[in-house]
Amino acid sequence: MKKNDFINNQLLSMGYLPLPYNKDRNKVFYKEMDNGLIVCVGIESSSLYQDRRKTVSFYTALSYTWAMYSPILLPQDCYLRIGEILGKNDLWFQTTTKEEKDFMCQSIQQAARICEKQSKIILHYILKENQYVEYKEYICRLNCIIDFVKKQGITSNADISIIYEVIKPVLKRIGVPLSKHTTKLYAVDAMNCIHCSSDINKQQRKIIASEIISVTNG
């Protein structure tokens, strides 16, 4: 068994699936809630500890924006470390013994349950008129990228670097400053939305985008 298999198996048993497109080496899992919100779970290791202790982060949003560096675009509860959720400050797990692995799995299960329950409140905050406008603008632009990629007939087995090049003209046209980070962010998020999102999630993103479009047209 590989060193992280016990974490992967725990998340799979809870209904979380591996995110097919990811911007870095850390493995990310996702689960869509009944209201269309996505809860992403990322496992991170630290070289500051000799035993490479691990922590877990939870990100709740209307897309798979694990790559987003600015959680301030959303309510604070959308981006939380497992220690914050469980009231234990910064929590890093040793995973040498079976007992330590079991404790980490139990903690993940407990924290995920709390995040999932919060999704209704978070969606209410996000949908509030004139709130989190920058995030809604991001979703509006993301929807444009998704529509464009679909029209190109790009398949799920396409190399992500191809997507980077394909979307650059669209990013420029809709006013997104081109950089390696922004191109990767939109490309990865768009492909995950195309291949993972339910109709409910798509509808929620349309509702968010419509507020920005109506303001722009008004």
Domain C-terminal end among 127, 154, 178:
127
At residue 132 the predicted structure's pLDDT band, cuts being 50, 70 and 90, is confident
Q: How many CB atoms lie within 10 A of CB 116?
A: 18
> Distance (Å, rounded) from C-alpha 213 to C-alpha 174?
13
205 and 98 co-located in one domain: no
Q: Evaluate if residue 40 carries a pLDDT over 90.
A: yes
104 and 120 co-located in one domain: yes
pLDDT of residue 141: 94
First-residue to last-residue Cα distance in the chain: 58
Return the SS3 of 113: helix
Output b/e per residue, 5-35; b: 16+ Cβ within 10 A: eebeebbeebebeebbbbbeeebbbbbbbee
Q: Evaluate if residue 69 carries a pLDDT over 60.
A: no
Domain C-terminal end among 127, 157, 181:
127
Could you tell me what percent of the chain has a pLDDT over 90? 57
47 and 62 co-located in one domain: yes
110 and 144 co-located in one domain: no
Q: How many CB atoms lie within 10 A of CB 74?
A: 22
59 and 163 co-located in one domain: no
42 and 122 co-located in one domain: yes
Domain range for 153 is 133-217
170 and 84 co-located in one domain: no
- Top-ranked range on mean pLDDT: pick from 24-28, 49-53, 93-97, 127-131: 93-97
Instruction: Specify burial of residue 79 (Cβ count, 10 A radius: 0-12, 13-18, 19+).
Output: buried
Domain C-terminal end among 86, 103, 127:
127
91 and 142 co-located in one domain: no
At residue 158 the predicted structure's pLDDT band, cuts being 50, 70 and 90, is confident
Of residues 197 and 162, more confidently modeled: 197
Domains of the chain: total: 2
Please calculate the CA angle 19-12-113 and round it to the nearest 5 degrees.
95
50 and 79 co-located in one domain: yes
Contact 38, 205 (CB under 8 A): no
pLDDT of residue 67: 47
95 and 179 co-located in one domain: no
86 and 170 co-located in one domain: no
| Residue 170 Ramachandran class (φ > 0 left, ψ -120 to 50 alpha, else beta) | alpha
pLDDT of residue 2: 66
> Distance (Å, rounded) from C-alpha 99 to C-alpha 91?
16
